[in-house]
Amino acid sequence: MSQDELQKEILEFEELESQATQVEHSYTADDIQVLEGLEAVRLRPGMYIGSTSARGLHHLVWEIVDNGIDEALAGFANRIDVTIEPDNIIAVRDNGRGMPVGIHEKTGISAVETIMTVLHAGGKFGGGAYKVSGGLHGVGASVVNALSEWLEVTVFQDGKIYFIRFENGGHAVEPLKVIGETTETGTLVRFKADSQIFKDTTVYDYEILNSRLRQLAFLNKDIRLTLTDKRTPDGLSNDYKYEGGIIEYVQFLNKNKSTISDKVIYVEGLQDGILAEVALQYNDGYQSSIYSFCNNIHTHEGGYHEDGFRMALTRCINTYAKNNNMIKKDETLSQDDVKEGLVAIISVKHPDPQYEGQTKTKLGNSEVRKIVSNIAGEQINRFFLENPDVAKAIVEKAEIASKARIAAKKARELTRRKSALDGISSLPGKLTDCSSKDASECEIYIVEGDSAGGSAKQGRDAKTQAILPLRGKILNVEKARTHRIFENQEIRSMITAFGCGIQEDVDVSKLRYHKIVIMTDADVDGSHICTLMLTFLYRFMKPVIEGGYVYIAQPPLYKVQKGKKIAYAYKEQEMDQLREEFKDGYKVQRYKGLGEMNADQLWETTMNPDSRTLIRVNITDAALAQKRVEVLMGDKVEPRKEWIDENVEFTLEDDYRG
């Protein structure tokens, strides 16, 4: 490009930029916009609930349920009922004290209306109404109101029933009024999410609600939680109350597994106004499942309460092992060694929790580490002394894990990417890389076999699409020790190609491709390879799934051709539509594998960003995902058989195809 052409390009861009960004308008006091009441929430809902996708929709329910839980924690409620009514209306009823109904001095309106319409208004700022709570900022209820088409609050208090309704983004239809008498206490909140805000969906997923309510029941043993779906006549219903609390939670997570002992180790204690409880049990597997909570909020990224527990457990196991001559005096078992096969729940109730980040995923109160460490350490030590057989089995398991870790470390070094100075030779041999180095536009297709790999390489966009063919089925990581996994050539190739590290070393910022696309044949073997791939990514690169970087490609099942007119069917139902459209005289090709397609067809149907269908893989519930992976990919056949019987419908068509 000549200097003149370059100058012309620059001028054209500046003109476009000016049109896009500049305004011909004075900037005066009149231009300052003040968003009053709940307008700010409706304008920027993502700031308050994370997103307006299905995840944000379900978050509305949690905000109201959490208020009921806080009332229970304060000792005034023992039941919360959640109902999904027809037309996806949510009703949440608790039997607590009921929202205050008196006139609020500062706002001049009822306390109920204040709570529902004023941001940062609530009873959790230190006024004495609550010692601990999940909600901190007083925005939960008002946010739900702001993002609802309508919302109704019914308060049962002092022998009276009070009622108020809000519409059009949280505006009261009329002030709070008495509509009847009662002997009950508590609050009922009913709302309908606003479809103008939640454009993706306003339909609630029963399983997502069910899983969270079950979790809350485990964490709060004195509360009964129910969920009822009234959208269909024979709607689902669940009732949860776990008197064993987190002990039963651990047993639930270890269901269908062989445990080292029948006993769940349970510790609890109160120190400096902070309540800590831990339940743990070992199984004979290789994976660990550690879930931590603060005031019922799942701290996904851990924090000081989790650190304190890990320190205490590691210290107790090492002390017991050395005192009983099970390991050498100069030998030490690491935190990684002692967590193999561990299932643990850590729950703290804190009057003033500090979280790192807005999402409340990491507890930042440093004092909690010492408190949890002291409480857990003392009581785990006592358990080991009282149960020497269990203690011995745990130490022996940690010792085996230690040896495997050393072997894995050696094997793992082979997966490390060499420096950029080593050039392209550091990449896996079978990888056909893309030319772009901008990870945000790069994609890597994981394909099944050299045949499909050949078509994919020829049909791809060489600038942004990389191809990595796999030789057959990869190792099922759920059933293998870590060092065997790192010795597997196919897995090593993927780790090296992705470039972001594995396990606790995963750094998503180093990921070389922002789309990892699993592209397998549309048959049973292809589905199995896809499942093995997802198991590997879930166990070793979970942040990559959580970040939304993993996709499953959808290749077509059929090609229908009549003369020059060609169409593809991705589902059986689509094939029925095409038969009607083409009438007669058409040819049908059934694709048994990607290798049957030529490069142009593969590009057009499965790889072209303008026409392809990709399914993004996400994790809505970590504990549920964990359990699902263990059932479907673990050693035990019976749980897998049960799950298939309950969840898979077989038809004559399936039998015929088989």
Please say whether the beta carbons of 284 and 260 come within 8 A: yes
Instruction: Record the tokens describing residue 380, joined without a space.
Output: 């785990």
Catalytic residue from among 63, 337, 443, 448:
448
Q: Three-class SS of residue 344?
A: strand
Catalytic residue from among 94, 521, 604, 630:
521
Residue listed under structure tokens 């019976």: 638
Q: Is the dihedral of CA 454, 456, 460, 464 positive or negative?
A: negative
CA–CA dist 641, 647 (Å, integer): 10
Known catalytic membership, residue 610 = no
- How many CB atoms neighbour CB 31 within 10 A? 9
State the number of CA atoms in the 13 A half-sphere of 469 facing the CB.
Answer: 16
Known catalytic membership, residue 441 = no
Q: Where are the alpha helices (DSSP H) in 194-328?
A: 206-219, 246-253, 304-323
Known catalytic membership, residue 448 = yes
At position 626, the amino acid (one-letter code) is Q
**CB under 8 Å, gap of 24 or more: what pairs does 247-252 form?**
247/279, 248/218, 249/215, 249/218, 249/219, 249/279, 249/345, 250/279, 250/280, 250/281, 250/343, 250/344, 250/345, 251/281, 252/218
Report how many helices (DSSP H) and strands (DSSP E) the chain contains, helices first: 22, 22
Catalytic residue from among 200, 352, 396, 525:
525
- Pick the closest to residue 489 from 513, 503, 472, 506 (CA basis): 472
CA–CA dist 567, 111 (Å, integer): 62
Q: Where are the alpha helices (DSSP H) in 505-621?
A: 524-540, 542-546, 572-582, 599-602
First to last CA, the chain: 60
Known catalytic membership, residue 521 = yes
Left if phi > 0, otherwise alpha if psi is -120 to 50, otherwise beta: which for 513? beta
Q: What Rg, from alpha-carbon coordinates, does the chain have?
A: 29
- Pick the closest to residue 535 from 618, 633, 655, 400 (CA basis): 633
Q: HEC profile for 131-148?
A: CCCCCCCCCHHHHHHHCE
| Catalytic (active-site) positions | 448, 521, 523, 525
